[in-house]
Structure 1
Amino acid sequence: MELISSTERNLLFARFRRDAFHLELRDDYSVPDEDTPFRTWLNGRDTDPSYLTPWTQLVRQCTERGMTVRRVRVVTEPITPYIQWEHALTPQNEEAGEDIRWLPRHLLPQTITFPFDGRDWWLYDDQLLAVGHFDTDGRVLGSQLIRDPATVAACAALRDQLWSVAIPHADYKP
């Protein structure tokens, strides 16, 4: 299986035309450029949000072109410190134009089965999936691109189902 890097995956944002959707299923992410800001926040100090600037600029460029960038974060309650930190930083994502919703696992419809062994994925324009792969320590290995129409359609249907029951960020109080 061939994986593309996070940088290569982010280049896909220049190619999509309508919608980019991210399904997040992990309660912790070990992203190297987040380690220091996360530890700072854990120690009770304000986090310098400048490390988010490349992402928020990318989102802003997309949304200014009339596209949507959205995500559902499926979380275990009580939420982990990492998810608490993500929740605290979400207003910056939203300010850039990203629409984020939360879905506690205990509220998942019982009929839900997550594809790809429960890995996160991005869905671009209902045509292309970028499925995340992580090592045993939770570090990102890369993303697998999938264009199979049946698989993409199943993920689009799952996206719609989750989006309809997920809680908008402003209303989610962990």
Structure 2
Amino acid sequence: MQLVQGEEFEDLFRACHREAFHLEVQDTYETPEESEPFRKFLADEPDDYAWFQPWLTHVREVTGRGVAINRARVVTEPHTDYTRFAKAVARFNADAGENVRYLPRHQIGTEDLTEDDWWLFDDTVLAYTVFEPSGRWVGGAVTTDPRLVGYCRSVKEHVWSLATPLAEYCIL
């Protein structure tokens, strides 16, 4: 595996022709970029979401080329505060062109999931999401190993088939 960061990670999207799929399996993320927006969310304070605009611009560029960006979030119910925050922000992802779905954790066996988050590009390039202990996103550990890619492809297909589109998913 090779760690890719910054522009190299974005190059994975640029090289993608059909689909960039993201699996998220954590109930809480503590990325420094989101700490103030998350605090505002919890305090019910307004946010201009300027911090989120670079990602949304990226999504528009990728989907504008005809590449699907699909995101599946496996979540525990009842939701953590972070899951509620991520779901509230997901409307911006969807407006930018992402297809976001949710799957309650109790509806899938642990043997049918991975413990890590990852991106799968065109079902051929796998990038495990890497975080520092502080929660800061570091990049992706990239591999094209056919066994790992094949396994994650099967997880993707199973999770996606069970997951509920954002517009239909209700917070319990």
Residues 58 and 145 of structure 1, relative CA distance in 2, 3 Å threshold: same
Q: Distance in 1 between matches of 2:140 and 2:101?
A: 22
Deviation at 1:7, TM superposition (A): 4.8
Aligned partner of 1:147 in structure 2 is 144
Could you tell me the TM-score, scaled by structure 2's length?
Answer: 0.92
Q: Distance in 1 between matches of 2:110 and 2:137?
A: 29
Aligned partner of 1:71 in structure 2 is 71
Aligned partner of 1:104 in structure 2 is 104
Is 1:170 equivalent to 2:171 in the alignment? no
Is 1:138 equivalent to 2:131 in the alignment? no
**Identity over aligned pairs, percent:** 40
Aligned length: 171
Give CA-to-partner distance per residue, 1:52-102, whole Å, 9 cap, x none.
111111111111111100110001111111110111111110011100000
Residues 142 and 63 of structure 1, relative CA distance in 2, 3 Å threshold: closer
Aligned partner of 1:123 in structure 2 is 120
Q: Distance in 1 between matches of 2:141 and 2:132?
A: 14
Q: Distance in 1 between matches of 2:112 and 2:6?
A: 27
Deviation at 1:109, TM superposition (A): 4.0
Q: Tell me, what secondary structure is at the counterpart of 1:132?
A: strand
Q: Distance in 2 between matches of 1:152 and 1:70?
A: 17
Question: Structure 1 segments of 4 or more deviating over 6 A?
Answer: none
Within 5 A, what are the aligned runs for 1:52-71?
52-71=52-71
Give CA-to-partner distance per residue, 1:28-52, whole Å, 9 cap, x none.
1122211111111111112221211
Give yes or no for contact 2:56–2:93 (8 Å, CA) kept in 1.
yes
Residues 37 and 16 of structure 1, relative CA distance in 2, 3 Å threshold: same
Aligned partner of 1:22 in structure 2 is 22
Deviation at 1:111, TM superposition (A): 4.6
Q: Distance in 2 between matches of 1:86 and 1:46?
A: 15
Q: Distance in 2 between matches of 1:2 and 1:128?
A: 12
Residues 125 and 37 of structure 1, relative CA distance in 2, 3 Å threshold: same
